């Protein structure tokens, strides 16, 4: 199963090992998903997934941070899916992607990005 499509930009990546391809997908996917969720959480929004549950938990238990709650929630899903599917390789790369997602979310939620001002 090849993940990298055959387009001119990825022409040099056609002959890489499938394991390396999974690692690249886990890292890049983790960065993109983490950035999207991190930006939403920075704006005090949720995407409707486990981040909504994490926000609700954090609302009642102020000591916990949303990225830590997300790590526990999503980590349990990754572990459960690894056990059910009995595919350790996919579980490892899913966990790698989760680590990147959580670190990216942590980066975006600790930085308060100013909202653009209305020019009226």
pLDDT at 120 over 90: no
In the chain, domain spans = 17-110
Q: What is the DSSP letter of 9?
A: G
- Residue-wise pLDDT for 59-74, tens only, equals 999 999 999 999 999 9
Distance CA 69, CA 117 (A): 32
Buried b (16+ CB within 10 A) or exposed e, 86-112: eeeeebebbbbbbbbbbbbbbebbeee
Neighbours of 5 (CB within 10 A): 9
Q: Give me the pLDDT at residue 16, please.
A: 76
Instruction: Look up the pTM and report it.
Output: 0.79
Taking all residues of the chain, what is their mean pLDDT, rounded to a whole number?
Answer: 84
pLDDT band at 15 (very low <50, low <70, confident <90, very high): confident
- Residue-wise pLDDT for 18-50, tens only, equals 788 889 889 999 999 999 999 998 888 888 889
């Amino acid at each position: 199963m090849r993940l990298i499509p055959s387009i001119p930009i990825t022409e040099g990546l056609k002959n890489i090992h499938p394991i390396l391809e999974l690692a690249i997908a886990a890292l890049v996917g983790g960065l993109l998903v983490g950035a999207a969720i991190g930006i939403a959480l920075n704006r005090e929004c949720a995407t409707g997934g486990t981040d909504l549950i994490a926000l609700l938990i954090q609302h009642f238990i102020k000591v916990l941070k949303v990225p830590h709650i997300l790590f526990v929630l999503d980590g349990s899903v990754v572990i459960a899916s690894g056990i059910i599917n009995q595919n350790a390789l996919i579980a490892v790369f899913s966990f790698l992607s989760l680590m990147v997602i959580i670190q990216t979310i942590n980066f975006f939620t600790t930085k308060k990005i100013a909202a653009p001002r209305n020019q009226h």
